[in-house]
Structure 1
Amino acid sequence: MATTQHYLWAGGHFILLISSLKYLTAWLLFRGPSAWWYKTSFLGALISYAIVCYKSLGGIQPNPAFIKRALLDENVQYFMLALFWWTSKPIAIALLPYAIFSLFHALSFTRSTLMPQFLPAGPPATAGGPPTPHPFAKKLQLWVKANYDTAMKAVAFIELAIMARVLFGALLLRNSILSPIIYAHFLRQRYYQSAFTRTAIQEVNRRVEGYVRAPGAHPIAVQVWDKFKFGLDKWTGSVIAPQQPAAAAAARAQ
């Protein structure tokens, strides 16, 4: 039986999904999207992630051990990032990872909680066994499972694109200088905690290496790239404790 907290969690994802779709559609069609939809999208994210963080960590405890555990929790990281985006000038691409997450959460909630209330269950697979899900719910479950990894790979590449966006945005004074600093720290955490992020970074590195070291490439490009990688490796070189699987799966367990 779904609790009020569970409905609030799902409601946050539905708010995020609908509002971000409204904002991104207007942005893609050059219709001057309202910042209100952007803010509302991240408000939905804050609601959902706050509930997940509370369920994962419990109440706030003002001690170093709790703070360290919280900062290593990926749900807390996404909550803090959503709070930063919510208070910042709108950057459309920043909505995409959250919207993709919300799509899968909303579909899973619809299948597991809403559909059984409206669609009749099928006959038991075995005598005396539990009823089988409605065929439509089963198809939805299979679609979510089949496309989840692909979606997470897309999120990893989108998050790298966001880094490029805020970096160039800071250079062109289109967003604050603080944005690339905060987002770079977020990506550093993702690198240590997400295999999808590591794979995306390796793929980008492979493509850039092929370009800067190709025959005829300007030698300056190689020098700049090597210095960039050296600085990046030095910055990310410290060891971060990997997140426990139970904590990483908190959001998906809703």
Structure 2
Amino acid sequence: MATTQHYLWAAGHFVLLVSALKIFLSVATFGSPSPWWYKLSFTGALLSYAIVCQKSLGPPQPNIAYLRKAIIDENVQYFILAFYWWTSKPVTLALLPYAIFSLFHALTFARTTLMPQFLPPGPPATAGGPPTPPPLAKKLQVWVKTNYDRAMSLVAYTEIIIFVRVLLGAVTFQNSLLTPLIYAHFLRQRFYQSAFTRHALATVDKNVDEKIVRRAGVPPVVGTMYEKAKGLIAGWTGTALSGGAPAAAAAAGGR
């Protein structure tokens, strides 16, 4: 049976989803998204991720071992990033990865917790056996399994686009100069922990190299600058941009 904490976790995801939908609809209709809805979205994210972090790490402890464990925890990283977005000037695109995660969490919660309470069960799989989950729950489970990898890949590409957005935003003074630095560190962690992020970065690198840098008519200096930029990134991350999984990630099993 679901606990109060589990319902609060789900409530955070539903709040994030509804608020993000309101914002995205406003953008799609050329409206001006309200900062209030933006704050509410990340408030939902902070609630859900705080519960997950507490469950996975336990109560905060003033020691190095706990700090090291927290630093490499993906949920802690997303919690810290959500807090940064919550306190910063709105960047609407930053909501999309959180909204995608919340969609899958909300659907799973609806399937496993809500539907069995409000929908009639399916027929027993065998004569005299227990009833099966509601048919709609089964369809939802299939949809989630079918689309999960595609959604996580979309998150990875979106996070790269967000970095480009905040980098340009820093140059044009639309966001803080600190924002791309913080987000670059976040992407560095995602590179080590997520196979989806590594694949997305390698794909982007390949397309930029083939379709822009080495395109006919592009001055050779562009290619030289691009290779130097990749070298700097490689030195910072400890691995080649287009290479395989880093040793640390491989040892940890990735995401």
TM range (shorter): over 0.9
**1:117-156 correspondence runs (5 A):** 117-156=117-156
Aligned residues: CA RMSD: 1.6
**1:1-254 correspondence runs (5 A):** 1-210=1-210, 211-237=212-238, 241-242=248-249
SS in 1 for 2:26: helix
Query: Displacement of 1:92 after TM fit?
Result: 0.5
Query: Displacement of 1:93 after TM fit?
Result: 0.3
Query: In 1, Cα distance between the equivalents of 2:87 and 2:130?
Result: 48
Query: Displacement of 1:244 after TM fit?
Result: 5.2
SS in 1 for 2:123: strand
Q: Higher mean Cα deviation, 13-22 or 125-134?
A: 125-134
Residues 120-148 of structure 1: CA distance to partner in whole angstroms, max 9, x if unpaired? Answer: 11122123433111111111110111001
Query: In 2, Cα distance between the equivalents of 1:31 and 1:105?
Result: 28
SS in 1 for 2:90: coil
Query: In 2, Cα distance between the equivalents of 1:176 and 1:196?
Result: 28
Q: List runs of 5+ in structure 2 lacking aligned partners.
A: 240-245
Query: In 2, Cα distance between the equivalents of 1:184 and 1:146?
Result: 31
Query: In 1, Cα distance between the equivalents of 2:125 and 2:49?
Result: 37
Q: Higher mean Cα deviation, 13-22 or 124-133?
A: 124-133
Query: In 2, Cα distance between the equivalents of 1:175 and 1:130?
Result: 57
Counterpart of 2:177, as a letter, is I
Counterpart of 1:222, as a letter, is G
Q: TM-score, normalised by structure 1?
A: 0.93
Q: Higher mean Cα deviation, 121-130 or 181-190?
A: 121-130
Q: List runs of 5+ in structure 1 lacking aligned partners.
A: 249-254
SS in 2 for 1:78: helix
Query: Displacement of 1:34 after TM fit?
Result: 0.6
Relative distance call for 1:23 and 1:13 in structure 2 (3 A) is same
Query: In 2, Cα distance between the equivalents of 1:244 and 1:115?
Result: 36
Query: In 2, Cα distance between the equivalents of 1:132 and 1:244?
Result: 37
Query: In 2, Cα distance between the equivalents of 1:28 and 1:227?
Result: 38
Counterpart of 1:197, as a letter, is T
Residues 24-50 of structure 1: CA distance to partner in whole angstroms, max 9, x if unpaired? Answer: 211222211110000000000000000
SS in 2 for 1:98: helix
Residues 222-254 of structure 1: CA distance to partner in whole angstroms, max 9, x if unpaired? Answer: 122111101100110177844856x96xxxxxx
Query: Displacement of 1:157 after TM fit?
Result: 0.2
Query: In 2, Cα distance between the equivalents of 1:29 and 1:178?
Result: 31
Identity of aligned residues (%): 62
Query: In 2, Cα distance between the equivalents of 1:138 and 1:126?
Result: 17
Q: Which residue of 1 aligns with 2:242?
A: none
Tell me the number of residue pairs that the alignment of Structure 1 and Structure 2 aligns. 247
Query: Displacement of 1:65 after TM fit?
Result: 0.8
Query: In 2, Cα distance between the equivalents of 1:133 and 1:171?
Result: 53
4+ residue runs over 2 A deviation: 127-130, 238-245
Residues 142-170 of structure 1: CA distance to partner in whole angstroms, max 9, x if unpaired? Answer: 01110010000000000000000000000
Counterpart of 2:224, as a letter, is Q
Query: Displacement of 1:86 after TM fit?
Result: 0.2
Counterpart of 1:22, as a letter, is K
